[in-house]
Amino acid sequence: ANTTSFNGKQLLSGNFTNQEFQIGASSNQTIKATIGATQSSKIGVTRFETGAQSFTSGVVGLTIKNYNGIEDFKFDNVVISTSVGTGLGALAEEINKSADKTGVRATYDVKTTGVYAIKEGTTS
């Protein structure tokens, strides 16, 4: 986004604003063009992944910060634990229920690993 240029002016950095071009044969037959910044941090296209392990429960608070600093979106807090109705599924559900407003969608994949082999036993 910082290296694409036209006539020495950067096009995609956000500095290409109100540029006037003569398009007709007569004077004042012009158009003005502006191209906003296209860095992922400016247009909101960001991907986040984690492979972190979690051993404790707690409350997650999540806010999506808008580039303009005004239209931030705060989600309801979500409890992350091993109880039914909590965990990453609850967090993804909270994020996805507001996807039409935020443009953000969440998926999750929980894998359980252990140190010891599964021992034989009985089920009841």
Rounded CA gap, 46 and 23, in Å? 37
CA 44 to chain centroid: 6
Q: What is the residue range of 63's domain? A: 51-102
The pLDDT of residue 14 is 77
Rounded CA gap, 83 and 57, in Å? 9
In a domain, 115, yes or no: no
The pLDDT of residue 40 is 60
Decide if pLDDT at 46 tops 60: no
Rounded CA gap, 55 and 82, in Å? 10
Same structural domain for residues 57 and 34? no
CA distances from 113 to 15, 55, 108 (A): 50, 12, 16
Each residue's pLDDT tens digit, 64-109: 777 667 778 888 888 888 788 888 888 889 989 988 888 788 888 7
In a domain, 120, yes or no: no
Rounded CA gap, 49 and 89, in Å? 15
In a domain, 119, yes or no: no
Same structural domain for residues 38 and 55? no
